[in-house]
Structure 1
Amino acid sequence: QVWSHLRDMPFMFFSTDRLYFTALRVKPKNTASTHYFSSDEEFVYESFYSDFGPLNLAMLYRYCTKLHKKLKSSRKRVVHFTGRDPKKRANAAVLIGGYAVIYLKMGPDEVYRSLTSGMDSGFICFRDAAVGECSFSLSVLHCLHGIHKAMRHGFLDFDKFNVEDYEHYERVENGDMNWIIQGKLLAFCSPHHHSKTDNGYPLHAPEAYFRFFREHGVTDVVRLNRKLYDARRFEDAGFTHHDLFFLDGSTPSDLIVRRFLHVCESAPGAVAVHCKAGLGRTGTLIGCYLMKHFFFTAAEAIAWIRICRPGSVIGPQQTFLQRHNRICKEPILVHPCAEYVNPRRVHFLQFGWA
């Protein structure tokens, strides 16, 4: 009876007619031919303010491995059901949609059409972690495209993903670090003069990061916030340190964007980037790199960065990335001045002029 009712509801299914997605008020009982499960209570987003997703990379990984095991271990139909909460529905859609993109090799648009088939309305959009009204809507489809593009470019590979490391190092007490591009761009919160606990919040001196940075090939550190530690402590330890300050919550100048891109393009190893929390300013500049080198759209870049590091890219920084496609499409600079990039020089390099 439940299965016949399910046929009249919006659902997605794949080539084997075994995997379904729908919204139900109560969990049905499993049958000899059908297994039902929900992710709504198992994978829960930790909000900063009014933000509610998307869920982070570890949750996507754990969901995908769990679902893959279900499909491999039985020939039953597998129905992922979600409740009526629109926020949980959107997060659930990214999970099962992400599985379809990663494991079933389906295109994002094809997956989204299946997800919304028969629905009167689509999924609500995600919002940023700022206080107040949202000025930019991030859709489920944007998230699926971000996942697809990260996988296509090789920095999303669940066969090599270490979920324990991700969950360990994302914790504030363990450094509050997330790879956005594994082995190339790391986002983290600002170090401080001394390692201590301030009102229950762990703060870390530069020395707390040295071992991790060396073990993971980090050669350059970029600071975007005001000085909370002496840069010479990184430099004396063999790291190249760069200061590219701009105000908290604001957007960078064209000069800062160009200088940041040059640092990333010329660094011999990985680049660790931080502002105060490692979310807004950090995510914005990393987004510029994704847009330039991997041809992410602004929305795809924001989606992928937030999946890797929830809460990233805030307020006007979102529309800044949308407007900044031009500078992100400029050619890779081969021999620019480290302190200043002349826009005319960019034009000369683009056309092969010295």
Structure 2
Amino acid sequence: TRVEIFEHSKVSVFNKMGDDNELLGASEFIKDRLYFATLRSKPKSTANTHFFCTDDEFIYENFYADFGPLNLAMLYRYCCKLNKKLKSFTLSRKRIIHYTSYDQRKRANAAFLIGAYAVIYLKRTSEEVYRALISGTNVSYLPFRDAAFGNCTYDLTILDCLQGIRKALQHGFFDFENFDVEEYEHYERVENGDFNWIVPGKLLAFSGPHPKSKIENGYPLHAPEAYFSYFRQHNVTDVVRLNKKIYEGRRFTDAGFEHHDLFFVDGTTPSDLLTRRFLHICESAKGAIAVHCKAGLGRTGTLIGCYLMKHYRFTAPEAIAWTRICRPGSVIGPQQHFLEQKQHSMWVQGDLHRSKQKQQQLRQSRQQERNMACLISSVDDMSIDSTILKPPSVDENEFREEDMIPTQGDKLLALKGQRHPRPTATVLSIFAAFGRKLIGLKKKKKKKISMSLFFFNALFENYLRCDKFVER
């Protein structure tokens, strides 16, 4: 069973390693195949066991005392590495053990890597994976912290990170089958723009542009124009500035982008009014939104976190975790507690927003149905009353042979079945086709033309009445 797969397991092969490699604990992820362990020293692989360690391969670039979680590119490269080992012919009969050291920072990142792998590729729940990691004699893991200078006031656990990964996976925020790791690593670098997608195709976080591109004290600065090409290629339509004015916003607007100023002080939290304005901008934008403050970390990550909670029902820790996995260092100090406080209200607002959207879609659907029903009714009425309305000079059998009115009804029924928004141009094209048919009819039998024009005018007047009804 799934529970059995994740039960804590002391692997017998470890008993052969000697006293120097005393086993702290081993977590089993694939029975008799994949394990995670914390060891005192580097072990040697045997005929039955393959050991590997990533502590010195995937290294977090810290700001201050922060040490993780590792970013999305490192997680991707780890998954590729582990998948290659599991598929390797030479390792096919060996147990594979990912081991880490007693360094609590490296140990936490290693546990995050294999835990996220189990969520993504083994389809385990975050809770199942975390239970495996802390089972048996395994000691607890050091929680991650923010990139602020000073004491940590908020703990982000490995479980929070795994839940953030799972939530992002559920909403299609990433897919390692087509993930472009080179592009991610290129644009996250300061010299190449320093930006990351948090919600692909919707929300991009980047550091604030400067009046002109230059290198200042060894640090590359970018003017607004440096971003134009990438933004246009990726359908970014709006830019939101959260810091003080450094560049002229019209440099973006003159280039065809919408530019919004929502300033609040660095290191603080936004007001409710400003948060609502930001969410409204995101919900109204025609394309993606690029958000920046000064570094594109604290204020930027905080408001993006609000969007994640409102529209995807992320918890505050999940939102913080996912944002940091995409863009390390995001959400700092009191901003973490702010997201915790806003979680419930964001969920309520999100539920209300989705409810209004459904009601609006339902009203539009009903209007379309009424419009189509009105048109269809006019056609049906003319067909039923044709014996009363037709002049005696018209032969009933000859008129039906032309099969004109049923053709109109068939087209209207087809429109109703499609349930698309009212296609005025399509309906007018039907009348145009009707008119062309009348021209052909006139050439054949002049007696039929007056009756056909009567039906044509009646049908068109009914259509106009329906159209006005919908507009009201």
TM-score range, shorter chain: over 0.9
Structure 1 residues 50 and 100, CA, compared in 2 at 3 Å: closer, same or farther?
A: same
Q: Could you tell me whether the CA contact under 8 Å between 2:23 and 2:38 is conserved in 1? A: no
Q: Which of the numbers 143, 148, 168 marks the counterpart of 1:150?
A: 168
Q: Which of the numbers 149, 173, 188 marks the counterpart of 1:131?
A: 149
**Partner amino acid for 2:179?**
F
Q: Per-residue CA shift, 1:182-231, capped at 9, x if unaligned? A: 11110000001000111000000000000000111111100000011001
Q: Structure 2 matches for 1:20-59, cutoff 5 A?
A: 20-59=35-74
SS in 2 for 1:13: strand
Please name the residue that 1:310 is paired with: 328
Q: Does 1:67 align with 2:67?
A: no
Q: Per-residue CA shift, 1:102-154, capped at 9, x if unaligned? A: 01110000000001111353101000000111110000000000000000110
Identity of aligned residues (%): 65
SS in 1 for 2:246: coil
Q: Could you tell me whether the CA contact under 8 Å between 1:331 and 1:350 is conserved in 2? A: no
What is the aligned length?
Answer: 341
Between the aligned partners of 2:140 and 2:302, the Cα distance in structure 1 is: 28
Between the aligned partners of 1:56 and 1:158, the Cα distance in structure 2 is: 14
Please name the residue that 2:342 is paired with: 324
Structure 1 residues 135 and 350, CA, compared in 2 at 3 Å: closer, same or farther?
A: farther
CA drift of 1:329 comes to 2.3
CA drift of 1:352 comes to 7.5
Q: Could you tell me whether the CA contact under 8 Å between 1:48 and 1:311 is conserved in 2? A: yes
Please name the residue that 2:135 is paired with: 117
Between the aligned partners of 1:120 and 1:107, the Cα distance in structure 2 is: 20
Please name the residue that 1:178 is paired with: 196
Between the aligned partners of 1:99 and 1:85, the Cα distance in structure 2 is: 21
Question: Which one has the largest radius of gyration?
Answer: 2
Where structure 1 has 5 or more consecutive residues not aligned to the other structure, the ranges are 335-345
SS in 1 for 2:290: strand
Please name the residue that 2:281 is paired with: 263
Please name the residue that 1:94 is paired with: 112
**Partner amino acid for 1:36?**
F
- Where relative contact order (Cα < 8 A, 6+ residues apart) is larger, the structure is 1
Please name the residue that 1:343 is paired with: none
Structure 1 residues 247 and 333, CA, compared in 2 at 3 Å: closer, same or farther?
A: farther
Q: Structure 2 matches for 1:223-302, cutoff 5 A?
A: 223-302=241-320
CA drift of 1:350 comes to 9.8
Q: Could you tell me whether the CA contact under 8 Å between 1:331 and 1:349 is conserved in 2? A: no
Please name the residue that 1:103 is paired with: 121
Between the aligned partners of 1:277 and 1:154, the Cα distance in structure 2 is: 27
Between the aligned partners of 2:356 and 2:162, the Cα distance in structure 1 is: 35
Structure 1 residues 29 and 223, CA, compared in 2 at 3 Å: closer, same or farther?
A: same
**Partner amino acid for 1:253?**
S
Q: Could you tell me whether the CA contact under 8 Å between 2:25 and 2:138 is conserved in 1? A: no
Between the aligned partners of 1:254 and 1:350, the Cα distance in structure 2 is: 22
Between the aligned partners of 1:262 and 1:332, the Cα distance in structure 2 is: 12
Please name the residue that 2:14 is paired with: 3
RMSD: 2.1
**Partner amino acid for 2:151?**
E
Q: Per-residue CA shift, 1:12-68, capped at 9, x if unaligned? A: 112432110011122211112211000100001111000010011100000011001
**Partner amino acid for 2:29?**
F
Please name the residue that 2:223 is paired with: 205
Q: Which of the numbers 171, 177, 181 marks the counterpart of 1:163?
A: 181
Between the aligned partners of 2:280 and 2:148, the Cα distance in structure 1 is: 29
CA drift of 1:2 comes to 5.5
Please name the residue that 1:338 is paired with: none
SS in 1 for 2:274: helix
Q: Could you tell me whether the CA contact under 8 Å between 1:265 and 1:332 is conserved in 2? A: no
Q: Could you tell me whether the CA contact under 8 Å between 2:23 and 2:39 is conserved in 1? A: no
**Partner amino acid for 1:202?**
P
SS in 1 for 2:25: coil
Q: Could you tell me whether the CA contact under 8 Å between 1:185 and 1:273 is conserved in 2? A: yes
CA drift of 1:328 comes to 1.3
Between the aligned partners of 1:200 and 1:231, the Cα distance in structure 2 is: 26
**Partner amino acid for 1:43?**
F
Q: Per-residue CA shift, 1:219-253, capped at 9, x if unaligned? A: 11000000110010100111111111000000000
Between the aligned partners of 2:265 and 2:213, the Cα distance in structure 1 is: 24
**Partner amino acid for 2:43?**
P
CA drift of 1:349 comes to 6.3
